[in-house]
Chain A
């Protein structure tokens, strides 16, 4: 276990004053703050190692390439994958869009069923809406059970009907509830279907082992786990990596490109792609992003992911105890052990935007308000917007005390 007060000094932004008050940052499900170690790793890359990777043979290029591959190895070890299964992307959204497109192209036929759930972020819903329309497939959105995780019986019913693909979030970005992915993957595979997992809200907050979960594809981003924006990961199980055609084409991802005729004007090209994962990373990759993510993983690994989850749950437990009054409507499970560090609630009779706005202006507290890019879920909760407090490693009980006091002040103002 760790004491957040021992690590806060690593996060320069926590010294910033917002509206005259020390920043209290409870918007970690949107993006996390970055420790000096990550910022310095990126700086060092540009100060000392910057070159394009996988191309030139000069020393600097070799070093940059080595750094990039070490970063990939670090990510692979962190989620218990092999480096061949780890493709860098610009983020969870790009990963999920790429997965939806290639899975549809390779494995879906008209009238096939694709399954997703009410718990999804729009990033794991809209790409499937698009590809299902293009491929004339049926998209089925499975409801949640009373614990706000996927309704397994309904999922199984759709698998029995022949569903080909199931794409599911690991952790809800609104409620913090954790889907039983291991159980789901056994079920999905017993019907020979494919399982895609949106891990944007799980990998930063809890141990995630792709072999243990046995998912076929997984997506997550660096910026919610202390890393830089614009960097993400697409995990694809080796057997799928070998079956899928690259979705981006260009430099750095081929073994050879040859003209089939000596006269260029008359010729077609014969292209041989590189092996996975290079074949999926056309163009100059985001090396600084990979290096930053690698430093973020070092930082999190030192704390231990079980400790990260434990710490967040301590904070959630304390907050939930303080939100028990009649003034609050708390959404989702009230048991900290079934969620990660996310609590969605409303001050009864007051719009979430008013609460979020005044928390910021009166107390320098950053929370998210709205539908959190999960409009169907928020509507099913019976509202149009919630206030979402989401925690990370540097948050403290003292900050939650200030939060509770500020909520009382907001209520007094608007009631």
Chain B
């Protein structure tokens, strides 16, 4: 079999046995996003420590292709227990590194959907907290 593709062992492992898969009861927030054009849907459940600005717990469910599901699985492992500033510092390059540093252009948006979804919330939280700090002065 040719190995010149992104379905490497790491991806297949996360696809077959996704980590942190499922729902959290009483999450602090739920984030849903989709690539409608290809039919990838991902939903995160997050327990969030407001005082420490830390993601205490995170789970996800998805109806998506293998690339998107594996990307979400890897992402949850990476951000669990981390401050949101860390989540917001993650870039496209970090996600591509999940898949050995390269990904076919046609599959990029599958891989990037989970991070885009998560950051849509974490970036908003960070901006709010900056605004609140300014308001204090």
Contacts and interface: CB of A to CB of B under 8 A. Distances in A.
A384 B63 CA distance: 10
A385 B39 contact: yes
Interface string B47-89: 0000000000000000111110000000000000000000000
A354 interface: yes
A208 interface: no
B5 A353 contact: no
Interface in A359-403: 361-362, 370-371, 375, 383-385
Interface string A327-364: 00000000000000000000000111110011001100
Contacts of A352: 39, 65
Nearest to A364: B2
B38 A357 contact: no
Nearest to B66: A354
A357 B68 CA distance: 13
A325 interface: no
Range class of the B interface residue count: 20 to 34
B110 interface: yes
A371 B36 CA distance: 9
A19 B66 CA distance: 21
A30 interface: no
A109 to B, nearest CB: 34
B12 interface: yes
Nearest to A375: B36
B39 A358 contact: no
B5 to A, nearest CB: 4
B102 interface: no
Contact of A353 (B1, B2, B36, B110): B110
Contacts of A384: 38-39, 41, 63
A353 B107 contact: yes
Contacts of B38: 353, 370, 384-385
Interface residue range, chain A: 20 to 34
A361 B66 contact: no
A384 B45 CA distance: 23
B64 A351 contact: yes
Contacts of A354: 7, 65-67
Contact of B5 (A351, A357, A375, A414): A357
B5 A413 contact: no
Interface in B19-35: none
A264 interface: no
A19 B2 contact: yes
B135 interface: no
Contacts of B4: 19, 361
A371 B2 contact: no
B5 A361 contact: yes
B39 A351 contact: yes
A414 B15 CA distance: 8
A353 B65 contact: yes
A353 to B, nearest CB: 4
B135 to A, nearest CB: 43
Name the residue among B38, B39, B63, B104 with the largest chain A CB count within 10 angstroms. B39
B37 interface: yes
Q: Which of A358, A361, A370, A385 has the most CB of B within 10 A?
A: A361
B51 to A, nearest CB: 40
10 contacts: A351-B40, A351-B66, A352-B39, A353-B67, A357-B5, A357-B104, A361-B7, A362-B5, A384-B38, A384-B39
Interface of A: 19-20, 350-354, 357-358, 361-362, 370-371, 375, 383-385, 409, 413-414
Given A351-B64, A351-B66, A414-B66, 8 more contacts: A357-B104, A358-B7, A361-B7, A370-B39, A384-B41, A384-B63, A413-B12, A414-B15
